[in-house]
Amino acid sequence: MHPRRGRSAIVGIGEVPTGRFPERTAIEGALQAAQQAIADAGLRRSDIDYVMPTGTLFSFQFGNELATARLVEELGLPHVSSNCQVFSGGSSSTNALRVASALVETGRARCVLFVHTDKLGTGVTAQGGIDLFSTAGISAEWEVPFGQHYSTVAALATTRYQHETGCTDEELSAVCVSNRKWAELNPHAFFRTPLTIAEVMQSKMLSTPLRAKQSNMLFDGAGAFVVTAAERARDLVQRPAYVLGEGGAVTHFVYSQEPDLTRFGWAAAAREAFAEAGLAPADIDVAEIYDSYPIYQLIAFEELGLCGRGEAGGLFLRGETWPGGRIPCTTDGGMLSKGHIGAGGSVSLLIEAARQLMGKAGARQVPGARFAVETATGGTYFDAQVTILGTEIP
Amino acid sequence: MSSPPAAPPRPRPVVNAWSRPFWDAAREQKLLLQRCGDCRAWIFYPRIACPRCGSDQLGWQPASGRGTIYSFTVVRSNAPSAFAPLLPYVVAVIRLEEGVQMLSNVVDCNPDKLRCDQPVEVVFRPLDDEFTLPCFRPQAGSGSQS
Ligand SMILES: [Zn+2]
């Protein structure tokens, strides 16, 4: 048995709705989510000894407040030994879980509280969001001067992937439809009305072949989770979400240096995570796949081994990823339908993975879910991070 | 209706000292690449040491200026503010004959007729007095000249 398998667990989760909430400040969202997570874990405020905020994009000043212990003081946590930010853009959730797991497994911390909050829906203008993301994580010397931004980044992967696999625009649009089916069941999601493939394919062209409804939109949101060692987790809650396996690969900084825009590092990351977990892709009951654009959901699905190369589009088109389908995917609606909240995009997915395993997913609960895989990636998809959680330790 | 605000100036490359020869050459309409004096690897973008073998024995050599389109996209809308006046424009990842990849713009072309793996050649587009961007255009006979 792998020495790290199942030695830590997520024991509490908290989240506020994603959307446009001009009256809800970023700190308010963070505090609500953190209080929920502590209560959900059955902990007292005095049990939290490590606070791990992640990066906030809408305000440099506010982000620094979280890095310098504002949460500890506002929450009134009396026994915190460390307040330390862990931030890697969109993969912050998974990287934070990895750091938190290492801390609790070695006894360096007992209960780690991770918190994300951002205000990209009402804290910046629409064009301000585009401009912010035309520089965040994009090389100022080698790509910004050529007009690279997040739509072109996704479009470049999509064009090449379609060229190599024959994936159709209809299949790409089917990813958006699948995520919307789940969002319809999620009260925390922003887009909750039914969506059709035709609506996606008729939406405004952004950067070929990428259309507006194949692009995420930016919103306000916040989430939190608590990580502790497995032996302690069993005493705290009925169904901890054990961390069974983690794997990662960093493949580029400058996007155009990525050697394979149709694969990235997912296969290596997944091999590592599945080996650590002692599981195979066929064992997965629910897949929370990072979906800032549909192309990344298709690529990750295939590279994780959930289906063969070029087959993912068909799965989404046939509804196998929908509620009631064979392999439920991105069950909170994802960034495409729940909404993109900055580094919180994958925090949502990690919380949702834990929520499904804890049996707390309400109308969208996947019955009997035992094993979940979650993926996350930061910047211009510079890394591939894979986490496998479970209700039991194989 | 108020008129849209004027677009900000196009962003200039934020340059490191060790990549200055690349930009100086581009202003003279030459495409230079670093090459490792030890393992002979071609290197882009410029580094302080060879990313393959770690050697700091790096020199500059002219590149062929020829390559192929690894992938591309035609930007139709929602561009960063500074690029809004340029719509539509083409962003592409170019694979140079020397085996390195770079992001660039494909110009002098019919954007609707571009395809992956299409042969392209370098062409220089001045940004201002200091910077000239190496861009690419379809090679003659490759089917999508404007
Ligand atoms: Zn070398």
Interface predicted TM-score (ipTM): 0.95
Asked if residue A298 has pLDDT above 70, the reply is: yes
Asked if residue B3 has pLDDT above 70, the reply is: no
Distance (Å, whole) CA A65 – CA A53: 10
Cβ–Cβ < 8 Å for A45, A75: yes
- Give the pLDDT of residue B143: 62
Asked if residue B145 has pLDDT above 60, the reply is: no
Q: Which two tokens stand for residue A62?
A: 């506010």
Mutate to test the interface with A, among B93, B109, B133, B144 (most CBs of A within 10 A): B93
What is the Å distance from ligand 1's center to B60 Cα? 13
Question: Which class would CATH give A138-217+244-390?
Answer: alpha beta
Percent of chain B with pLDDT over 70: 94
Question: Cβ-count burial of B3 within 10 angstroms (0-12 exposed, 13-18 middle, 19+ buried)?
Answer: exposed
Instruction: For residue range A361-379, list pLDDT tens digits in order.
Output: 999 999 999 999 999 999 9
Provide, as residue numbers in chain B, all residues whose Cβ is less than 8 Å from the Cβ of A163: 71, 115-117
Residue range(s) occupied by CATH 2.40.50 in chain B: 64-140
Mutate to test the interface with A, among B69, B103, B128 (most CBs of A within 10 A): B103
- Give the pLDDT of residue B4: 59
pLDDT (average), residues B77-90? 94
- Beta-carbon contacts of B24 under 8 Å, excluding residues fewer than 6 positions away, are none
Percent of chain B with pLDDT over 90: 88
Provide, as residue numbers in chain A, all residues whose Cβ is less than 8 Å from the Cβ of B13: 140-142, 144-145
Nearest partner of B136 among B76, B91, B99, judged by Cα: B91
Beta-bridged to residue B97, according to DSSP, are: none
pLDDT (average), residues B45-66? 97
Question: Cβ-count burial of A272 within 10 angstroms (0-12 exposed, 13-18 middle, 19+ buried)?
Answer: middle
Indicate the pLDDT class of residue A129, thresholds 50, 70 and 90: confident
What is the Å distance from ligand 1's center to B35 Cα? 8
pLDDT (average), residues A232-237? 96
- How far, in whole angstroms, is CA B98 from its chain's centroid? 14
Residue positions counted in chain B: 146
Instruction: For residue range A157-176, list pLDDT tens digits in order.
Output: 999 999 999 999 999 999 99
Instruction: For residue range B94-108, list pLDDT tens digits in order.
Output: 999 999 999 999 999
Cβ–Cβ < 8 Å for A381, A296: yes
Nearest to B74 among A207, A254, A257 (CB): A207
Give me the CATH code for the B64-140 domain, please. 2.40.50
A178 phi, psi to nearest 5 deg = -60, -45
Distance (Å) from the alpha carbon of A345 to chain B's nearest alpha carbon: 21
pLDDT (average), residues A55-66? 93
Cβ–Cβ below 8 Å for B101 and A148: no
Asked if residue A6 has pLDDT above 70, the reply is: yes
Helix (H, G, I), strand (E, B) or coil at A254: coil
- Give the pLDDT of residue B119: 98
- Beta-carbon contacts of A201 under 8 Å, excluding residues fewer than 6 positions away, are A169, A170, A173, A211
Scan for tokens 């992937």, then name that residue: A161
pLDDT (average), residues A205-209? 98
Distance (Å, whole) CA A152 – CA A248: 25
Q: Which two tokens stand for residue A359?
A: 């049996």
B84 phi, psi to nearest 5 deg = -55, -40
Q: What protein residues have CB closer than 5 angstroms to ion ligand 1? A: B 36, 38-39, 41, 50, 52-53, 55
Q: Radius of gyration over alpha carbons of chain A, in Å?
A: 19
Mean per-residue pLDDT over chain A, rounded: 96
* Domain A8-124+219-236 identical in fold to domain A138-217+244-390: yes
Cβ–Cβ below 8 Å for A257 and B73: no
CATH superfamily name and code, A8-124+219-236:
Thiolase/Chalcone synthase (3.40.47.10)
This prediction's pTM: 0.95
Instruction: For residue range A269-288, list pLDDT tens digits in order.
Output: 999 999 999 999 999 999 99
Helix (H, G, I), strand (E, B) or coil at A242: strand
Question: For chain A, which residues make up each domain, given as ranges?
Answer: 8-124+219-236, 138-217+244-390
pLDDT (average), residues B64-82? 96
Indicate the pLDDT class of residue A124, thresholds 50, 70 and 90: confident
Percent of chain A with pLDDT over 90: 93
- Give the pLDDT of residue B1: 43
Indicate the pLDDT class of residue B69, thresholds 50, 70 and 90: very high
Cβ–Cβ below 8 Å for A146 and B105: yes
Q: How far is CA A257 from CA A18, A93, B32, B101, B102, in A?
A: 34, 25, 17, 6, 7
